[in-house]
Structure 1
Amino acid sequence: MAADEYKIDVKPEVLLMEQVLGPLADGELRVPRFQRPFVWRPEQILDLFDSIERGYPIGSLLFWETSEELASLDRIGDLPVPEPSPGRAVAYVLDGHQRLSTLYATLRRPADARRTTAQKDWMWWPFRVLGTGAEEGPSRYRHWKQAEPPPPYYLPLRSVLRTRDFLAFARDLEERATPNMDIDRLINEAELVAQRIRQYKIAVVRLVGGELSDAVEVFSRVNSTGQAMRPAQMVSALTYREKGQQTLADRLDGMVEQIADTGFGEVSSDAVFRAVLAVTGEDNVQEARWDVLAKRVQHKLQQAVDDTEEALERAVEFLRSENVGVPLARLIPYDAQLMLLTTFFHHCPEPDRHQMEELARWFWVTSWSGHFAGANSTQIKQAIQQMRRFAHGAESVTPDEERARPFPDRFDLRSARVRAFIIWELQEFPERLTADGEKVNPVDILARGATSAYRHVVIKAGLAAASSPANRLIMPTRPRISLRNTLLQLPEHLRGAVLASHGIPEEAWAKLAQGDDEGFIAERRAALAERERNFMARFGLSADTAEGETDIDTE
């Protein structure tokens, strides 16, 4: 067979609204199951129609026409879609799921579709406000969230494509109109809106022929949102065949939700995906040829997902244990650490005491040293191999000759070094006291708002030291009372205990009381850094005494 026969033909075209929605209603245009679910907010639905009425472009859609049968969604938006007729050609939506779901579930909405005060119902009932009613708000498009019917000048968008339904709206308007309403003008405006929506031209790129791997490659390159298909989506698309079977993406989402339900929060789905690949025996989990990898792991993927689910639970249990003490998923310094721990617990579900202690040492050393900052595929590959060897009896897995990064100069949760500091600090000061001496759990407060939980003591423009972690506390105060004033007004009989519970030396408090803000921060920073270095020494790690620039880690 000639090589050209494998190539996809690319056919740009322009379609009217009904030419796009008709095939959806007939089951001949389908959304493959590897697409992410509908995630648009209600206001995005309104913005889409406002753009359409104004004639603004809404981005091109990408369809793939093929004889291959892909597992696809049985609902678009919240409306069911039929199976295609036997023998009819089928196209699949590769890009445009959110926009098409919005258009289909609103413009094709049945008159008897459920409409309640719940968002999952009213979000699919957008209205175009006609006449003077449009002056009541910033947008001509609204949702009606009340139980009673909307005003008569609210044009339901479900009626704009159907002549019979549009006439029913016009009759209802005439019956319910108040004396000050110009019915003819309102109906003319409604007809103009309907005409603009019906005649709106949508750019479509149709791919014809080729294999799924070709289509996925095109999608990953030309996605109109500017976001390439994630590796997990790619492998999910390339390995899913059987109807009724959960996709890899579904299973990954399920694992993330299961961990979140424990109160740990959402772990990285990318880390879980790469853990699945490592469990299958893959070493290159960073920059593989995803089409080649998908073919190689397809037949062992389901078992690997089951195994990963068990290993992931053990990895999270270890992270939350006293050996490490990570209270929340968002504080894990590097995604690679979660992936590697999951790999270890797959190969060694019941580690001995030495292995647990060595894993804790490995976690702290790699966190403080920035070991995985910008790690390339070769380094990750070597780390996976080392972790497997450790699971099967090697003495150590901790990298040699690492040195801790210095105490960070600013508080930024995008930094692994700062996240490691927070994990340590939560262990070092597990129970904080309020100004009244009441005990509060800092983890509970942190879980409700990561950055906002750590409040500034000193707020002063131009003071560089104000960005330091040493200028941050988790400490509730009374309404409209600053943290600084709360500290300065501590009752004398409680002051020592309150300050100690937050790691504030008496010397630092004295500087604050004297108005020496920079001195307060410097004293507390020195005290925290010394205590942190003492903790590091338990793992054979040393650090500079000087403060250093906070590195923003990206993975």
Structure 2
Amino acid sequence: MAVQVEEFNVKPEVLLLEQLLDEVRSGRLRVPRFQRPYVWRPDQMLDLFDSIERGYPIGSLLVWETSLQLPSLDQVAGIDIPPAPDGSIAYLLDGHQRLSTLFGALIHRPEPSTGSRDRHWWIYRMLGTTDPRELRFQHSGRSAPPANLLPMQAVLRTMDFLTYARRLARDPSTADDCDALVDEAEQFAQRIKSYKIPVVRLLGGDLPHAVEAFSRVNSGGRQISPDQMVSALTYRAETEETLTDRITAIRESIGDSGFGDIGSEPVFQTIVAVTGEDDVQGARWTALADRMSGDLDGIVKQAEIALHRAVRFLRYEVGVPLAWLVPYPQQIMLLAVFFHHQPDPDGAQLRALVRWFWSTSWSTVFVGGNGFQVRRALHYMRAFATDRAHLNLQGLYAQPLPDRFDTEDGRVRAFLLWELGHFGHRYGLDGEPIELIELLARSGPAAYRRIVTGVPSASSVANRIIMPTPPGVSVREALLDLPPRRLRTVVVSHAIPPVALARLVADDRNEFIQERTATLAGLEREFIQEIGAELAWELGRENGTIDT
């Protein structure tokens, strides 16, 4: 007998901010567990309150009201939420980051200790400033911040607000201006209390109806991500773990291996590819979820095993020490697909995969996540893994050394990866080897310091080296302060040739960068030829894309 699905309707409404928070505090508005975790940075939290004070819209929230029971979070922003009451429940589908920020900063909570991880929920509004450039909202790491900082958690509670007003009157730094500061605080509190947020409420229907509606709504400037959608669609009441939980667990297990976080995208796309789907970026998610529902545990387990094999290959065959250095996330997914179909490759296959990795890293094939290119690469990788074809590298044109140091650029990451392997032993100012991987794992791209400044070409990738220096001392100053013999040893280990060093000593900054650029570009080209990727360079030359 078919299950009767209640009628599906859409109800737009506008709620006061305080009403919205009351729904969360009562447990009636809940965050489903398939939502992504809270990830906002402190500056994003402050920007949200700045927008509210100025009366700017912060986007609508999308909620689904239903009598169905979904696994939901028992805490929001670290604050306990009571169990859902009887009757219909509203589940937040879009707006988790915004609502958690508002709830965490405005709802009363015990004062944390100095340095506590909960201190980021304590946001303050600065009173008494007339400079529009002054940052009105800020965090404070101190348990007793200055008296003119109004805690946001005192805004909605009358007793807390009165306590703060008495503090203004007692504190010597604010006592003389107490009346004006209290007036300013009251006006600000009224703006918060009267702020209205549009809410799109989906009534009735089933989970696929709600997710389909979510996929068509672009509130907050974005649509639901595919992994969230499939996680929701594959939810089953009999299991505690959602697909989002499983993806997080895989990321954590890979991160624990020392490789770092690979992100949710390649994990989700690997799971999709394991099902046999060709379009891992734009599949018909509802149909895919139906196929996955019967064996979600088995599919996820196969994807996890394949991803761990891909990561081992990257670390020990290619020499990629950390996840953030992988040029394109699609490479992780495609390698995982290979190891899913071919868990025990021979030496020739491994060498072909290494060549494929570098050739795709130097080219633009995965720039922007081109859907057609990814589908074609997936087709070739499956055929290669099942001995039906060789890896096809035709049309992969190697690009020249980038002009700018931008680690969001996959070609820059490819360069850094090559340089890391080619100059594996580098010396610091003390003449001792630098622990490169440890430093890169701790500092990320910030480990790469500019050598010279003050010239247009200072943003070049050839103007960066991994070189810790004392506070306030530039890399150039630190290098030139070394004894001559140690200076030569250090700069050679960082691929600074003698002619470039001479330019650095003479303070010919542009010429220094040009000399080092020429040296690095030549060495990188030799490496490309050595591993057997001449085809990519030749094709690039013929098409005018390679700087010879």
Tell me the TM-score normalised to structure 1 length: 0.80
Change (3 A) 1:428 1:207: same
Letter in 1 for 2:113: T
CA distance in 2, matches of 1:510, 1:174: 62
Is 1:233–2:225 an aligned residue pair? no
CA distance in 1, matches of 2:470, 2:184: 55
1:9 is aligned to 9
Aligned residue runs from structure 1 range 251-266, under 5 A: 251-266=246-261
Range that drifts further, 171-180 or 288-297: 171-180
1:304 is aligned to 299
2:431 is aligned to 437
Change (3 A) 1:450 1:206: same
Q: Residue 253 of structure 1: SS of its match in structure 2?
A: helix
Q: Residue 498 of structure 1: SS of its match in structure 2?
A: helix
Q: Residue 12 of structure 1: SS of its match in structure 2?
A: strand
Change (3 A) 1:438 1:115: closer
Q: State how many pairs are aligned.
A: 537
Q: Mind listing any 5+ residue stretches in structure 2 that lack a counterpart? A: none
CA drift at 1:46: 6.2
Q: Residue 455 of structure 1: SS of its match in structure 2?
A: strand
Change (3 A) 1:301 1:508: same
Change (3 A) 1:49 1:119: farther
Q: Residue 206 of structure 1: SS of its match in structure 2?
A: strand
Structure of higher CA gyration radius: 1
CA drift at 1:319: 0.8
CA distance in 2, matches of 1:205, 1:149: 39
2:114 is aligned to 117
Letter in 1 for 2:262: V
1:362 is aligned to 356
Change (3 A) 1:74 1:521: closer
CA distance in 1, matches of 2:350, 2:339: 11
1:97 is aligned to 96
CA drift at 1:537: 2.1
Q: Residue 219 of structure 2: SS of its match in structure 1?
A: coil
Change (3 A) 1:30 1:458: closer
CA distance in 1, matches of 2:390, 2:375: 17
Letter in 1 for 2:496: I
Is 1:329–2:326 an aligned residue pair? no
Range that drifts further, 399-408 or 138-147: 138-147
CA drift at 1:419: 2.0
Change (3 A) 1:243 1:157: farther
Is 1:416–2:410 an aligned residue pair? yes
Q: Residue 277 of structure 2: SS of its match in structure 1?
A: coil
2:525 is aligned to 533
CA distance in 2, matches of 1:536, 1:167: 66
Deviation digits for residues 449-505 of structure 1, max 9, x if unmatched?
A: 44443334443534x5x5543343333456655444555566444455434322233
CA drift at 1:325: 0.9
Letter in 2 for 1:447: A
Letter in 2 for 1:319: L
Does structure 1 conserve the Cα–Cα contact (< 8 Å) formed by 2:26 and 2:82? yes
CA drift at 1:51: 5.6
Does structure 2 conserve the Cα–Cα contact (< 8 Å) formed by 1:390 and 1:396? yes
Change (3 A) 1:374 1:206: closer
Tell me the TM-score normalised to structure 2 length: 0.81
| 2:465 maps to which of 467, 473, 486 | 473
Does structure 2 conserve the Cα–Cα contact (< 8 Å) formed by 1:10 and 1:207? yes
CA drift at 1:353: 2.1
1:393 is aligned to 387
CA distance in 1, matches of 2:474, 2:256: 34
CA distance in 2, matches of 1:534, 1:422: 16
Q: Provide the alpha-carbon RMSD of the alignment.
A: 4.2
Does structure 2 conserve the Cα–Cα contact (< 8 Å) formed by 1:60 and 1:205? yes
Q: Residue 36 of structure 1: SS of its match in structure 2?
A: coil
Q: Residue 432 of structure 1: SS of its match in structure 2?
A: coil
Letter in 1 for 2:32: P
Letter in 2 for 1:437: G
Deviation digits for residues 214-248 of structure 1, max 9, x if unmatched?
A: 43343344343212221111111111122652221
CA distance in 1, matches of 2:150, 2:405: 51
CA drift at 1:288: 1.1
CA distance in 2, matches of 1:516, 1:128: 48
Is 1:72–2:67 an aligned residue pair? no
Deviation digits for residues 140-199 of structure 1, max 9, x if unmatched?
A: 777776557996x98776676667x56985998799799968999988887766665554
CA drift at 1:295: 1.7
| 2:367 maps to which of 366, 373, 380 | 373
Q: Residue 213 of structure 1: SS of its match in structure 2?
A: helix
CA drift at 1:204: 2.1
CA distance in 2, matches of 1:51, 1:489: 49
Letter in 1 for 2:424: P
Does structure 1 conserve the Cα–Cα contact (< 8 Å) formed by 2:7 and 2:204? yes
Does structure 2 conserve the Cα–Cα contact (< 8 Å) formed by 1:408 and 1:549? no
Q: Residue 268 of structure 2: SS of its match in structure 1?
A: helix
Letter in 1 for 2:331: Q
Deviation digits for residues 286-336 of structure 1, max 9, x if unmatched?
A: 211222222222222222222222221221111111x31112211111111
1:271 is aligned to 266
Does structure 2 conserve the Cα–Cα contact (< 8 Å) formed by 1:260 and 1:267? yes
Change (3 A) 1:372 1:188: closer
Does structure 2 conserve the Cα–Cα contact (< 8 Å) formed by 1:17 and 1:201? yes
CA drift at 1:540: 2.4
CA distance in 2, matches of 1:498, 1:364: 28
Q: Residue 221 of structure 2: SS of its match in structure 1?
A: coil
Aligned residue runs from structure 1 range 440-459, under 5 A: 440-459=434-453
User: Percent of counterpart pairs with the same letter?
Assistant: 49
Letter in 1 for 2:69: E
Is 1:28–2:28 an aligned residue pair? yes
